[in-house]
């Protein structure tokens, strides 16, 4: 069976371009962008085929306001990386145009799971190598590992862990809500590998995002297990190795003074430039100028950005940009909730798609509170692809609603 439904002409190539752009995003950003460029060219050549979900309005507003912030920046040329990154938003209409049926969406997400499985298997091998190295050299594992963690196919552990979170959340929704098919259980093994890699990534924001989306899924699918959650977490902490316990303990505010300084600095930038900000890519260079006066020595940390999407966007692009990002997240959550109310209960692919959109949005909101998640092309691309697939599951304006427990007959 082909991974992409048989289509003729332009639709066929648009589907393949979207498939390549979204699946390779979890392995090679260069290949993903090449496929995205092809998809954009195809849509521009046949614009009447293009479709956009309702959430495209806040996306367009964010693009427009970013360009306004660039125009008012003291160094507009420095904003080029962010302007170039705006092209990634094209994944939303491209994916929404390409995968119009539940069958097509189900096949493309399986491709995402497969690529993520390969990335996480590689990451586990990287972790094993790090452990063996620490044993051979006698180094303290925690100190040596937190500065050089597992990355999978990516170049940085944050990119790896954040994209893995989005895949894991989508896969969890697939296991809980999608119609069972032959070979369905194999995805449970894939989920176990991805989950293990996320635990061993030592990425605290990823853990918190998984916790938030996991609570949502438990509340929807297994509400009785919510009371067991704290007990499981307590046991997990007690049996965890010392290195994991140290990383868990470092989540407390007192252990993250650098982030507090960054956020306070961002507030100073917002107060000075509330409408258009200091300019894209200018928060890092201008950091010393807006640093709080009572901070004499900066705590250890990376000060190239402000480690919070809402503060960072408001500081670089103005308060309207942060409001638009909130609008984007809120609209996805509202649309998914409305769609679920119109979708029949029971296992079916539409419910999986809609819950995936909601759970991934909750995850990205948590990630955005601790890192500039939307500033990473791979993370942004993964989130937009999931949102596009979720909107394809909305009953209104699509093909007839899928009957509970029945398979989509498109192939």
Mean pLDDT per block of 10 residues along the chain (411 residues) reads 54 92 94 96 91 95 97 93 94 94 91 97 96 90 88 93 97 93 88 96 93 93 81 80 80 77 95 95 92 86 90 97 97 96 87 96 96 92 97 66 37 29
Residue 288 inside a domain? The answer is no
Residue 282 inside a domain? The answer is no
Q: Dump pLDDT digits (tens) for 266-318.
A: 999 999 999 999 999 999 999 999 999 888 888 888 888 899 999 999 999 99
Residue 280 inside a domain? The answer is no
Residue 265 inside a domain? The answer is no
Residue 56 inside a domain? The answer is yes
Distance CA 308, CA 321 (A): 13
Q: What is the pTM of this model?
A: 0.91
Residue 410 inside a domain? The answer is no
Residue 186: which residues within 8 A CB-CB, separation 6 or more?
Answer: none
Q: Give whole-number Cα distances, 176 to 14, 48, 50, 232, in Å.
A: 30, 36, 32, 20
Q: Dump pLDDT digits (tens) for 325-372.
A: 999 999 999 999 999 999 888 888 899 999 999 999 999 999 999 999
The answer to whether residues 302 and 342 touch, using CB atoms and an 8 Å cutoff, is no
Q: Dump pLDDT digits (tens) for 377-390.
A: 999 999 999 999 99
Residue 145 inside a domain? The answer is yes
pLDDT of residue 257: 85
Residue 65 inside a domain? The answer is yes
Distance CA 181, CA 212 (A): 28
Q: How far apart are the first and last CA of the chain?
A: 8
Distance CA 119, CA 136 (A): 26
Residue 289, SS3 per DSSP = helix
**Which among 264, 286, 266 has a CA at the least distance from the CA of 274?**
266
Residue 261: which residues within 8 A CB-CB, separation 6 or more?
Answer: 291, 292, 295, 298, 299, 301
**Which among 305, 279, 357, 291 has a CA at the least distance from the CA of 109?**
357
Distance CA 286, CA 312 (A): 13
Tokens found for residue 107: 């096949």
In the chain, how many domains are there?
Answer: 1
Range of the domain at 371: 9-255+304-392
């Amino acid at each position: 069976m082909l991974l992409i439904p048989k289509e003729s002409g332009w639709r066929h190539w648009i589907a393949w371009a979207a498939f390549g752009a979204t699946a390779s995003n979890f392995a090679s950003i260069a290949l993903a962008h090449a496929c995205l460029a092809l998809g954009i060219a195809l849509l521009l050549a046949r614009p009447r085929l293009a479709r956009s979900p309702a959430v495209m309005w806040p996306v367009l507003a964010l693009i427009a306001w970013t360009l306004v912030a660039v125009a008012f920046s003291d160094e507009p040329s420095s904003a080029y990386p962010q302007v170039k990154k705006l092209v990634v938003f094209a994944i939303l209409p491209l994916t929404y145009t390409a995968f119009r049926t539940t069958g097509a969406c189900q096949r493309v997400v399986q491709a995402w799971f497969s690529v993520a499985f390969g990335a996480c298997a590689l990451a586990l091998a990287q972790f094993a190598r790090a452990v063996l190295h620490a044993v051979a050299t006698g180094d303290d594992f925690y100190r040596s590992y937190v500065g050089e963690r597992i990355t999978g196919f990516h170049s940085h552990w944050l990119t790896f862990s954040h994209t893995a979170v989005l895949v894991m959340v989508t896969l969890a929704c697939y296991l809980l809500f999608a119609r069972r098919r032959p070979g369905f259980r194999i995805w449970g093994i894939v989920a176990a590998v991805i989950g293990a890699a996320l635990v061993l990534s030592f990425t605290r924001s990823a853990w918190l995002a998984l916790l938030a989306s996991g609570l949502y899924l438990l509340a929807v699918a297994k509400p009785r297990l919510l009371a067991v959650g704290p007990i499981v977490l307590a046991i997990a902490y007690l049996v965890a190795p010392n290195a994991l316990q140290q990383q868990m303990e470092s989540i407390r505010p007192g252990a993250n003074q650098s982030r507090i300084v960054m956020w306070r600095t961002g507030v100073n930038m917002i107060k000075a430039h509330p409408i258009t900000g200091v300019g894209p890519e200018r928060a890092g260079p201008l950091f010393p100028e807006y640093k709080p006066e009572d901070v004499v020595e900066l705590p250890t940390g990376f000060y190239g950005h402000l480690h919070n999407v809402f503060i960072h966007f408001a500081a670089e692009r103005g308060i309207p940009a942060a409001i638009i990002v909130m609008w984007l997240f809120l609209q996805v959550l509202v649309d998914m909730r409305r769609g679920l109310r119109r979708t029949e209960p029971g296992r079916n692919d539409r419910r999986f798609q809609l819950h995936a959109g909601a759970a991934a949005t909750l995850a990205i909101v948590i990630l955005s509170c601790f890192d500039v998640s939307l500033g990473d092309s791979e993370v942004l691309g993964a989130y937009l692809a999931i949102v596009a697939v979720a909107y394809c599951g909305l009953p209104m304006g699509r093909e007839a609603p899928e009957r509970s427990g029945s398979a989509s007959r498109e192939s």
